[in-house]
Amino acid sequence: MGQAHDYAKVAFDLIDDLDRLTEVDRVMDRVSATLSDFGYTSFLITGVPEPPQRLEPYILLNGWPKGWTEHYTRSNYYADDPVAAWCRRTVNPFEWSQAPFDATRSPRAAEVMAVAREFGLNKGFLVPIVRNTGFQACVTMAGERPDYEPRAKRALHLVSMYAHARCAALMGCKSDGQRRRVLSERERDVLAWAAEGKSSWEIATILGVSERTVNWHVEQSKKKLDAVTRTQAVIKALRSGEI
């Protein structure tokens, strides 16, 4: 795209069309066509849960190359994907190459990026989307020679937010955080009170159970959320919409 290209017009033309489209397949085709104008040949619109939750149940629109989703899923790459990991920690759009990881300490992260290139996902750009529930989602895209001009990135930021909102509306997603939960009702109760700063003894008194039972639920929650501490479990439960 040349310097004279009207990025804003491309973005607002898409937004106008999205408001009129009522079928998810049409939305996918329209978004794909617009992203191709910016040099992107593949894209994904999805929720971004905290591992060990898996990515697949949260995908809204899948425009990845044929075979990549299957390989990504079969290899359980989501738990080690550095781009996904950085998305869960920032609210700012970023190029995939800006997602930090240590290839020596995290060889699986390096493997994810290397295999992605084999599927044609050479350079990418990701727009995080944080909902008022605290649950994170994103629109991520890739291509051989994408347009990284600052104005193009700003236009894609706007396009991504509208595309995600339109997909969520058409697919009837009442609440991103409710797509799939891994904690039991009692585990959520315990972490919810822990988030309020209550001790195990106080939670036990409130729920009418023993302190030992409370601590057991905390430990179970930590295992399910892949958390090391109680505080980390609370944070991950909040971010994933569990509580």
Q: What DSSP string runs through 48-66?
A: -PPTTS-SGGGEEEEEPPT
Arithmetic mean of pLDDT over the chain: 88
For residues 154-166, one letter each, b for 16 or more C-beta atoms within 10 angstroms of the residue's C-beta and e for the rest, the string is ebbbbbbebbbeb
Per-domain residue ranges for the chain?
7-177, 181-239
Instruction: Identify the weakest region by mean pLDDT among 64-73, 134-143, 228-237.
Output: 228-237
Alpha-carbon distance values, 151 to 4, 10, 93, 156 (Å): 11, 11, 13, 9
Instruction: Name the class of domain 7-177.
Output: alpha beta
Using CB atoms within 10 A of its CB, is residue 229 exposed (0-12), middle (13-18) or buried (19+)?
Answer: exposed
SS3 of 211, please? helix
CATH architecture, domain defined by 181-239: Orthogonal Bundle (1.10)
Question: The pTM is what?
Answer: 0.70
Q: How far apart are CA 114 and CA 232, in angstroms?
A: 30
The pLDDT tens digits of the residues spanning 55-112 come to 988 899 999 998 999 999 999 999 999 999 999 999 899 999 999 999 999 999 999 9
Q: How much is the pLDDT for 234?
A: 83
User: Does pLDDT of 200 surpass 80?
Assistant: yes
Q: How much is the pLDDT for 216?
A: 92
When comparing pLDDT for 54 and 177, which is higher?
A: 54
